[in-house]
Every structure is written in C-alpha cells, then in structure tokens.
Chain A
Amino acid sequence: MTTSRRTFLGLVGGGALAAGLAACGSSGPTTTPGSTTGAGGASGSGATYWFLTGQPQQTIREAQVKRFNDANPDTKIKTTMFQNDAFKQKIKTAIGAGQGPTLIWGWGGGGLKAYVEAGQVEDLTDWFNQQTELKDSIFPSAFTAATVNGKLYAVPGETVTPIVLFYDKRAFDKIGAEPPQSWGDILDLVPKFNEKGIAPFSLGGQSRWTSMMWLEFLFDRIGGSEVFQNIFDGKKDAWSDPSALKALEEMQKLIKANGFVKGFSSITADSNADQALLFTGKAAMMLHGAWTYGNMKASGGDFVTGGHMGYMNFPPVDGGKGDPSATVGNPGQYMSISSKASDADKETAKKFIANNTLDDATVEAWVKSGNIPVVKSAKDKLSSITDKNDAAWLNFIYDTAANAKNFAQSWDQALSPTQAETLLDNIAKLFQLSISPQQFASNMNAVIGQ
C-alpha cells in the first residue's frame, strides 16, 4: 500500500483497508523518544507535529524535523506519527477538543475550511507574505486549496500529484491502435479492446473517488474550469449546468459501452488491484493519480522498467470548452498552525515551515524518491536522475503540474465533508447506472454550499 494521501482519503475504501491493517497489526501512534506526552499531544509544552507513517514520506519528514531540532536545540519539535485512518480520526477529534498539535498536516480544501470556520487554525497571510523567497518558489496553483475567504491558512508543501491517463503500450500493439487523442477516440477504442478480451479501462470503483477522477476531467474538458468553480462557490443549481449534465451523460455512455473492467464496482484502489489489472495486461488503460507510479514500478514486473507503460494528460473532448493543459488531483499537501498553540510554539512552527519544509535537502529527497515537490526548483534536480524511465516520468509530471492552466484540487477534498460524502455516494450510484444524470444533479444541488 502506497502512502499517498489518496489511499488515506479514499474515504470508505481507504478506511476499509486501513481498518483491516489496523486489525492485523499495530496501528497505534509512534512517538519519538523524548516526547513526554505520548500520543496526547499537549499544547504549551513545546511545539508538536503529527504526521503520517509510510515510506518514503516518513523518512523525509523525520529528516526535516531532525535538521530543525539540530539547529534549534532550545525549541525542539516533538513528532507523533500515525497510520492513515488513525491520523484522520485522531486529528479531527483532537482539534475539536482543543488538543491538536501545533503543526497540523493536511490536505487543504474543504477540511481546512472546516478548521478555519471553527477558529482552530492561524491566519498565516501576513506572515507568509514576508516569506517572499519561499512564496515565489512554490507552484502558484498550490495556493488555492490553502486559501479560505481570501486568506492563507496553510503553507503548501511536499508533492504535486496530478491525475494521469496510464496505458499499456502492449495492449495498443495488440489491437494495432494509437493512444486516444480525444474523448471520441476513447469511445472508439472501447469495442476494439473488448473484442480482444482486454478491458478498456481498469477502475477501482468501490473506492468511489476513483470514479470521481473521471468526472473531474470530463467536467473540465467539456465545460472548462468554471463549472466546478461555480459548484465550489456554492452557486445555486451549479450541478445542473448544461456542460455538467453533458459530462454525466458521456460518463454513463462509456459505462454502458462496457468501457470499464467487469466487476469494477467491487474493486478497491487500496489493494492496488486496479493497478494490477493494468500491469498484468487485463486492462488497457487506467485513469489514476501520479502516486501509483512507485507501486507499478515495484510490483508490476517489467511493466515500468521494460518501457511498456505509457502516460498522458487526459485528452480533450471534441467541442469542449476546457483547456487541454488543465489537470486535476493533488496540488500539494499542507501545513497549518493551531490557533490554540502558545505564541512561542507558533513561532517555532513558523520557523520550521519557513526553513525546513521545502529546503534544498527536502526537494532533493523528494525527487530522489520519485516525486515532484511543489516547488519550481524541482526542475533543477531532475537532471541528476539516472534511470531513464524515472527521468521521463518525473519530467512529465513536472511539466503537467507547472504548465497546467488550472490545477484543480480533487473534489472530495475541495468540497466540505458533507458535500464530499454525498458526492461519493451519488457517484457510486451514477456508475451503477442506478440514477440518471438529472437525478445526480438534483441530489447534488440539494447539498450545494453545505
């Protein structure tokens, strides 16, 4: 299991696997030696920082804290690490109880907005505007998810992970076709793959956010970025936008044409079964996050190393208004500071964010681990990558993220938890063909702005 925020955020599915893992092994928090409070995370007794376990992220985060603590022996940061699901529950409960850590690691968007509305996180706008060097180094697209009502409540960090259309070059050789250049090509390819007994697309539909990625792209390619922006802004009946309805219809058209692997609605992304369908040749294509690269390289035999894996940005839809360079996914991870922390702890936390989260050593470590950190300087590090597959992949991800006209945050994170859950629920039904596009739109309009 990879530790992208995806596996974490794969709401039910993610929770399910994590719950399973928790039942199988240790899920308790791991506290660094020297911490006096254990998992309790007290405020006022020095700055605290909670984050997720899992490699390679954990090592990089630990190294950041170590560098900070070595440089600031008087104001050390204490860390507590959690497994995915444990973290998600624990941090929400802890913040609600005023017992949260000084440094709150998160995904921005709707979750951050909930913290802001509850008055739990510090407004960082003024302070961050003074950090000109850091500010200028970060991809501008990463700030949207950190901004609530025009104010900055979190600093982007860690990695960019856009959603990418992966494909198996061998499958295309078998049917003698080229990768799709448009939505029309996709629909044309479906019967050709089905004839050869290859599923056109792999999909871990039980996880629901996996299906959501399709809608994110179709909405954008057909109607442009303002369709979702209207939804995000809480505009009345924004889900019934003609482009939105068109996108939902196109989606069901692909499902009815057997575009997805048989049994997709019982496949979860967390077991990586959807990736396995692609790299074992059972499916020809897969729309998935950039974070799956590492697993496909590690588990996929020679799929990546043998150069069989292809990837591209989602193709345009004929007659669509969207900019084909736009992408969706995860524009970064985010660090906020608890408003309940003492002033001294807040200072420590700010110092840590300013000096250690996107410093040169961190950027290099991220690139070496096969990720693009959310800073422009990542480009300079790419020349040091010797593996040609990795180098090509990282350049592609860098260019996709840096050149995107619009990098929309995944809907389930951008929206409030209430809307996100309703959305995922309705997406599952839409993909089951048990509701029509109109019903989908009206169900979603009912919770808009909530």
Chain B
Amino acid sequence: MVLPALVLFVVFGVVPLVGVLVLSFTSWDGLGAIHAAGLSNWRSVLTDPQLPHSILVTFEIMILSWVVQTPLSLLLGTFLAGRQRYRAFLAVLYFIPLLLSSAAIAITFKALLDPNFGLGPGLKLSFLTQDWLGRGDLALAVVIFIVSWQFIPFHSLIYQGGVRQIPTTMYEAASIDGAGRIRQFFSITVPQLKYTIITSSTLMVVGSLTFFDLIFVLTAGGPGDATSVLALDMYQRGFMSNRMGPASVIAALIVLLGLALALLLRRLGGSTTASQQEGA
C-alpha cells in the first residue's frame, strides 16, 4: 500500500524539487539551451533589494492573517460545535466562501471595491468609496481581509471537529464547580484544542507562503509592489521575465521557509504525539 503513494510522491514531489534546485544553478530563458550559472543566481537574488521586501510582505500577510483568522475561527468553531439544528444550517452558510475559487473571489471583490463603479459609489456610501486597491496599506489590508474571509470557514470546521472531541464530562464537572461559559472556554476548550490550534496554524502559515492566485488577480502585486509576495515574485521572474534560474532560487527559498516554519510550529507544540484526551 505504501508503494503507489511513494511513487507518486517521488514523481510529483521529489523530482520537481530536485529539478528546481538544479535550475537554480543555471541560466535558462525557458526556450533555448540551459547553461550552468554556478552561484550567480543565488548571489543576485539574495542581494536583490526586492527580496527582503517580498519576504516582508509575505510575513506581514502570514502573521496578520493568522492573527485575524485564529480567534475568529476558534470562536466560530466552538459556537458551531453545539448540537442545535440551526447551527448545522449556519455551518453550511459559513462554509460557502471556501467553495469558491480564489480567482472568482478576487474578481468579485475587485468589482465590489472599484472606486468608480463598485459598491461604495453604487450605494453612495463614502466610507466604502476608498481607493481600496490603489493605496499600498489599504491593499494589504484588503488582501488580509479576503484571505480571512475565504479561509475562516475551513479553520472553523477544523475547530468544530476539535471541540466535539472534547469529552462533555469535563464541561459537566466544570459546571458543577461553578465555572461559567467564558471560564469553561478558556480553561477547557482552548487548552484541549492545543493540537488543533497547532494543526490549523501550520496550515495557515505554510499555506500563506503559497498565496498567489488571489493576489495575482486582485492586485497583481500592486500598487507598486505593496502586495508583492514571494510566490508572485517567483512567477514574475520566471514566467514574465523569462528568467527561470532566479525564479528557481525563490522557489527553493519558499520550500526552505515552509519547512522551517512547519518544524518551528511543531517544536512550539511540544514534540509529544501522545493524545491530549483527558488524563492522557
């Protein structure tokens, strides 16, 4: 049973990864012959002032979207873990954004936020009539908002599952001891969800390294390069500028960053893989 998975992983995971590493030491325009370039691509990318900027923007989006998404998903997930029927209905409603493709979401928001033909001018609401995507700080905030809007449903689903795993006896005992709902949330739900939080955070953090489609369609990295994340930088170097070498360097950097972050989060969560169920 392991072999097919292993073959797939090697063909679609390891081989491209090695390919990218090899390409990062070559110069290639995607058309002609591939020439060895030694360390020059690495040197030029690592000294390019664009790179720290892209990394900064990537981390800004990563951290801010984590900060926005985690509490909201946690609260929403806890709320939805109740058993009333209306909550099942709400859960379905909340889940809808995740079913839409990022490109469709980006196009829709772009139309809604248009300073001349969008929602604000349409409803004559001046506070909505901002140059949302034309000002760097606003554009970054819009990206974070849309990312959160899109992915909170997914993470609240994870939390919903996590909360339902918590034995009801713990809440019953707490009630008997006189703990209110808020106290129960912070003393039972959150600690019990520790591993769920780590899983969800890992997905958010590592996933945000590869944000591309949404930003590509929404702002194309702009205005200027205010929302130019690493993945977009890679695309622009590789497929727009026809410089596959430097693009491969960035791809390799993204892999390294992703690995480092995933390991870091694992470390933060403690290295034990034992169950967090009561008493264990």
Question: Interface residues, chain A, CB within 8 Å of chain B?
Answer: 11-13, 15-17, 19-20, 22-24, 89, 92-93, 95-96, 114-115, 117-120, 205-206, 208, 261-268, 271, 273, 276-277, 282, 416-418, 420-422, 425, 428-429, 432, 434
Contacts and interface: CB of A to CB of B under 8 A. Distances in A.
A266 B241 contact: no
The DSSP consensus for interface residues of chain B is: loop
Contacts of B111: 271
Contacts of B116: 261-263, 267, 273, 276-277, 282
A206 B225 CA distance: 11
A206 B224 CA distance: 9
B134 interface: yes
A20 B104 contact: yes
A117 B32 contact: yes
Residue from A16, A261, A266, A277 having most chain B Cβ neighbours under 10 A: A266
Nearest to A207: B220
Interface in B197-243: 213, 216-225, 236-237, 239-243
Contacts of B216: 12, 15-16, 19
Nearest to B114: A273
A273 B219 CA distance: 15
Contacts of B103: 19-20, 22-24
3 residue pairs, one from A and one from B, having the closest CB atoms: A266-B133, A118-B32, A263-B115
6 contacts: A20-B106, A115-B31, A265-B131, A265-B134, A267-B114, A418-B242
B247 to A, nearest CB: 11
B222 A16 contact: no
B131 A12 contact: no
B32 A119 contact: yes
A266 B219 contact: yes
A425 B29 CA distance: 19
B179 to A, nearest CB: 48
A18 to B, nearest CB: 10
Contact of A12 (B110, B117, B221): B221
Given A118-B31, A267-B114, A417 B222 contact: no
Given A12-B220, A19-B103, A429-B224, A206 B32 contact: no
B101 to A, nearest CB: 5
A265 B31 contact: no
B132 interface: yes
A428 B223 contact: yes
B61 interface: no
B225 A429 contact: yes
B240 A421 contact: yes
B243 A92 contact: no
Nearest to A115: B31
B82 interface: no
B136 to A, nearest CB: 8
B71 interface: no
Contact of B131 (A208, A263, A271, A418): A263
A276 B117 contact: yes
A118 to B, nearest CB: 3
Given A418-B242, A418-B243, A421-B241, A16 B29 contact: no
Interface in B5-55: 29-33
Nearest to B239: A89
B67 interface: no
Contacts of B64: none
Contacts of B33: 118
A226 to B, nearest CB: 26
A282 B102 CA distance: 31
Contacts of A92: 30-31
A178 B39 CA distance: 60
B236 to A, nearest CB: 6
A270 B114 CA distance: 14
B107 A20 contact: yes
B139 interface: yes
A282 B121 CA distance: 12
Interface in B94-129: 101-104, 106-107, 110-111, 113-117
Nearest to B237: A421
A16 B32 CA distance: 27
A276 B117 CA distance: 9
A334 to B, nearest CB: 17
A266 B115 contact: yes
Given A264-B134, A265-B133, 4 more contacts: A12-B221, A16-B220, A19-B213, A267-B116
Interface in B58-88: none
Contact of B224 (A89, A119, A434): A434
Contacts of B221: 12
A261 B114 CA distance: 12
Given A20-B107, A119-B32, A276-B117, A421 B236 contact: yes
Given A19-B217, A24-B104, A429-B224, A422 B31 contact: no
Contacts of A428: 222-225
A422 B241 contact: yes
Contacts of A264: 134
Interface in B239-258: 239-243
Contacts of B220: 12-13, 16, 206, 208
Contacts of A208: 220
A268 B110 CA distance: 10
Nearest to A430: B224
Contacts of A282: 116
Nearest to B30: A96
Nearest to B101: A23
A22 B101 CA distance: 11
A114 B31 contact: yes
Contacts of B32: 96, 114, 117-119
B222 A265 contact: yes
Contacts of A277: 116
Contacts of A276: 116-117
A425 to B, nearest CB: 7
Contacts of A89: 239
A23 B115 contact: no
Nearest to A92: B30
